[in-house]
A and B are shown apart, each in its own frame.
Chain A
Amino acid sequence: MELLLSLAVGLTIACGVWLVLRPRTFSVILGLTLIGYAVNVLILLSGRLGAQMPPISQKGATGLADPLPQALVLTAIVIGFGMTAYLVALSLRALGESGDDRLDNQDRNPADADPEA
């Protein structure tokens, strides 16, 4: 199972990275979402497998899952949503400004001239 899970995380990362490297904003958002999934699972897995019970503390309960990674991931999921929403807004704004949903407009920033003198 360990191997299988590792492969799943790796596969998700690979797909996410490939998507992030595409030239259009939409696929970058998709890719980042995928990477977000993978990273969240990876962090959660740092609590290791084999827990039988959710981390609800009761008398005599054993085999509780590690609550710390869970708490970290919980906020990470919500923040991840915030980031996705922000990126969507950013890409729509870029679309509105440039009329194009490509990431890298070819023309270089001309503001390279010496600001002094």
Chain B
Amino acid sequence: MLAGLGLLALLAPAVFAGDTLVATLPWLPAWGLNLSLRLDGLGLLFVLLINGIGFLVVIYAFYYMPDYDPLGRLYLTLLAFAGGMLGVVLAENILLMLLFWEITSLSSFLLIAYKYREKEARIAARMALAVTGGGGLALLAGLILLGQVAGSYELTSILARGDLIRSHSLYPVLLVLILLGAFTKSAQFPFHIWLPNAMAAPTPVSAYLHSATMVKAGVFLLARFYPALAGTDLWFGLVTTTGAITFLMGAYLALLKHDFKGLLAYSTISHLGLITMLLGLSTPLSPVAAVFHIINHAVFKASLFMAAGIIDHECGTRDMRRINGMMKYMPITATLGILAAGAMAGVPFLNGFLSKEMFFAETVAHPALSGSAEFLLPGIATLGGILSAAYSARFVHDVFFNGEPVDLPRTPHEPVRWMRLPVEVLVGLVVAVGLLPNLVVEPLLTVASQAVLQRDLPPFKLAIWHGFNLPLVMSLVALGGGILWYRRRERLFDLHERMPFSWSSPVAFERFYAWATARSRRAMNWLDRQTLRQSILLYLAFTLFLGAWAWGQQSQALAGPLSRTAPSAVGIAGLLVLAVGLAGATALHRQRLTAILFLSVVGLIVSLGFVWLAAPDLALTQLTVEVASIMLLLLALRYLPAEAPVDEPKSRQLRDAAFAGAAGLGVSALCFAMLTRPFETISAYHIANAKALGGGTNVVNVTLVDYRGFDTLGEIAVLAMAALGMQALLSGLVLKPQAGHASTAADRYPIMLRMLMRPLLPLALAVAVYIFLRGHNLPGGGFIAGLVVAIAILLQYVSAGAAFAGARLRLPFVGLLATGLLIATATGAGSWLFSMPFLTSSYTYVTLPIVGKFELATAMLFDFGIFLVVLGTLLIALTELGQLSGREQRAGQQG
């Protein structure tokens, strides 16, 4: 934070000279989202507040938090929150601003729930998140609309197009949405409910969130978009009314709180209402007053919260009926607290007085209401002033004077020096601004207000004495009335006790929350029956509906213009075999072994189909994968009943058949429509440049390891994950093999098979090397080579048993995965060394006997990575299943 302040000091002169600094980094330019930041007067002011008060809060928290608290979590979330706030106030792109806005919502949730073992803290945090998060959603919609209307998501252009925005037909909608975001964050009526509850957070957090940051984000938003949105009747009506209601209600309720942190919370709401009201007034000087009050409120409220925290810390309670006469026990803290509370009440020579008087002056100067309503705004202002003075008086009198403390858990005394220091600094500012406003705050106020208005300011004068005028009278009335009001408080408390105030209490919110969760749960249960089949059926029905609907929307014939080829005899024969395989696998799916055999028929036909479709790479891959899959399924069958019973009604089978038929028909239609339509491919480029760019002629392989190498890297990573996942799933699992399986056979490893298979391994390895090396130019490559080697090794397992083969191979399978991924990634990263993009390949020619001349490309190294991963995956998959039986045998021997 100090670093941030230092950086700010470097940039500040330019801002004071009137510049707006903008730095842009394109992020998702297609969506209008750029990582662009701006620093203008308003941003500067907020950065000062966030970093300055943040720094003081960090010091304060160190002494405030109990010794057993590790503090790490607090600082982490606090700084994350501060970072989010800085992002909000410095964002140039409004979508970026929203992103940071959400970060503040989330991190404030964590901060409020800091004492997560207490139920109140959890409920309070949930409420804050629900309210501000909901507002964030509204804000998202509002900002997107704003960006669409203004034609840009960059603030500079938006602020320059205020007239366009205000005259647009969507203006009311986007205004209401953006205001929702601002009001929820700034705790404006009726969204204020979350703020008093958020007092469940530790006091340093409250001091930070409710003085300078979180709640100020809302008014910041209003100030930021002031040139673009303000000035209309709608703005005046919504913003001023909300502000006025919040101002009065907060002040009224603050007086009634016995918990002094609660009092401060409601006074925060009230002051935010005041600022909002000022921004709504839209007189020439009202934004200046608003900015001024933002500064003043941040300073005195942070110091008040910290002083309150000290008292709480020393007394062990926050009840003002028990804490009395603190002046005697901690005179210095008491003096600081009295000064800050005086600023809150608007006592002359303190900073709150100046901005409050500006506020009074603006309500008088506002031209909108005339005649009998002329006194409405000044009346509201004065009434609010009276109430503010009253609760400030209560805070000062009850806590610091009013006799002796009642029944405190411990005897209070002055806190350690460093804990009081932040309060001293802030109260020093309160007095300095109050006495010498021109010197201390005027330059900052001027640039910040200019940034709000985006034009030069009308002349204004900061002074304590403006002559004897109406605002001064209002101030005096407010102070005098406040003290009177406070003296009659007993009657008010009685009145309050008798009034049912449930509508403003969190009870209403909780009831709504419970209702909403129950409803969503019911809807969720209705949609998601928690059975896979229901979900699949639902999904299938919806897809079919979409397909049928789209088909109904257009009028083209199913068959396209492409001329058709005549069916060949071989093709028909192949398809007949396919049909038999499918029918067998489907009809006999209960006889599981038979079904697997039929399945392999289908796989074989698909492989042959790949050959027929001029895809030899695919045919090779399919063939080898087929072998591995069948082995896998056969192994699994060891533990499953060989025959499944019929346990479902005929009607369900028929219903599923209808769905399946419809799905098949749909895919057929889709396929036919596709096949009979012409298309354009991007492959011409791939084919033409395979040799020049990728160093190989087998375009499929070049595509895999070069053009789309990044995809392939992702894919082998997925493969490795599947293998590891499988290992995790099967670890420690003990299953009993089903009766009647091979394990009970007399001759487990037939000698013929064993003798035949053993010489196969080196042969297969040689073939694999051959396939691998030629893969770049002719069908082959890492995928296929990996499959071939894996199957050759697995055959050793099958023929000679896991114990025999495993003992001789000693391959670390997981290590294969890791090495493969590492090699592939390192190959890709290697091109960075030559300042080329990730996975750029280069190659040279090498000649080996027998294999002939071939390229040694970096792509080949990548291919080797693929080879290792494929090999590792297959070996893990099959040996894990195989080991299940070994494990179960061992378990049996022990048992």
A residues near B, CB below 8 A?
Answer: 1-30, 33-34, 37-38, 40-42, 44-58, 64-68, 70-71, 73-75, 77-86, 88-93, 95-96, 101, 103-104, 108-109, 112, 114, 116-117
Contact = CB atoms under 8 A, between A and B. Distances in A.
A26 B881 CA distance: 15
B411 interface: no
B451 interface: no
Given A8-B575, A27-B589, A27-B595, 14 more contacts: A2-B672, A21-B659, A22-B648, A34-B602, A51-B614, A55-B683, A70-B700, A71-B704, A77-B618, A78-B783, A81-B625, A86-B722, A90-B729, A108-B530
Contact of B586 (A18, A24, A77, A104): A18
Nearest to B639: A92
Interface in B645-693: 647-648, 656-657, 659-661, 663-672, 674-676, 679, 681-683, 686-688, 690-691
Contacts of A29: 633, 636
Contacts of B606: 37, 40-41
Given A30-B599, A33-B629, A74-B704, A67 B697 contact: no
A86 B881 CA distance: 11
A42 to B, nearest CB: 6
B893 interface: no
Interface residues of B, number: 120
B625 A78 contact: yes
A2 B614 CA distance: 16
Nearest to B661: A14
23 contacts: A1-B565, A9-B671, A10-B666, A10-B668, A14-B665, A23-B647, A23-B648, A26-B592, A27-B595, A33-B629, A40-B618, A48-B675, A53-B614, A57-B697, A65-B613, A68-B682, A70-B615, A74-B617, A75-B783, A86-B722, A89-B730, A96-B733, A116-B123
B822 interface: no
A83 to B, nearest CB: 7
A116 B881 CA distance: 42
Interface stretch (B335-343, B500-508, B708-716): B708-716
Contacts of B517: 114
B582 interface: yes
Interface in B687-742: 687-688, 690-691, 697-700, 703-704, 708, 711-712, 715, 718-719, 722-723, 725-726, 729-730, 733-735
B355 interface: no
B527 to A, nearest CB: 14
Contacts of A54: 614-617, 779
Contacts of A4: 567, 571-572, 575
A54 B877 CA distance: 32
B441 interface: no
A85 to B, nearest CB: 4
A111 B142 CA distance: 38
Nearest to B777: A56
Nearest to A117: B119
The 6 closest A-B pairs by CB, nearest first: A14-B664, A10-B668, A82-B722, A67-B699, A18-B660, A71-B703
A15 B586 contact: yes
Contacts of B119: 117
A30 B640 CA distance: 14
Contact of A88 (B583, B734, B735, B881): B881
A21 B660 contact: yes
A62 to B, nearest CB: 11
A90 B725 CA distance: 9
B262 interface: no
B280 interface: no
A2 B675 contact: yes
A24 B536 contact: no
Interface string B816-853: 00000000000000000000000000000000000000
A68 B585 CA distance: 31
Interface of B: 119, 122-123, 126, 517, 521, 525, 530-533, 536-537, 540, 562, 564-568, 571-572, 575, 578-579, 582-583, 585-586, 589, 592, 595-596, 599, 602-603, 606, 609-610, 613-618, 621-622, 625, 628-629, 632-633, 636-637, 639-641, 644, 647-648, 656-657, 659-661, 663-672, 674-676, 679, 681-683, 686-688, 690-691, 697-700, 703-704, 708, 711-712, 715, 718-719, 722-723, 725-726, 729-730, 733-735, 777-779, 783, 787, 870, 873-874, 877, 880-881, 884
Contact of A68 (B640, B683, B881, B884): B683
B326 to A, nearest CB: 37
B687 A48 contact: no
A114 B520 CA distance: 12
Given A2-B676, A74-B621, A79-B715, A11 B582 contact: yes
Interface centre among B565, B585, B698 (most CB of A within 10 A): B585
Nearest to B701: A71
Contacts of A40: 606, 618
A34 B621 CA distance: 16
B564 A1 contact: yes
A57 B540 CA distance: 41
Nearest to A109: B530
A103 B648 CA distance: 13
Contacts of A53: 614
Contacts of A33: 599, 629
A114 to B, nearest CB: 7
A90 B636 CA distance: 11
A89 B632 CA distance: 10
Interface centre among A77, A101, A108 (most CB of B within 10 A): A77
A13 B622 CA distance: 18
Contacts of A81: 625, 628-629, 873-874, 877
A50 to B, nearest CB: 7
Contacts of A3: 564, 672
B372 to A, nearest CB: 51
A30 B517 CA distance: 39
Nearest to B565: A1
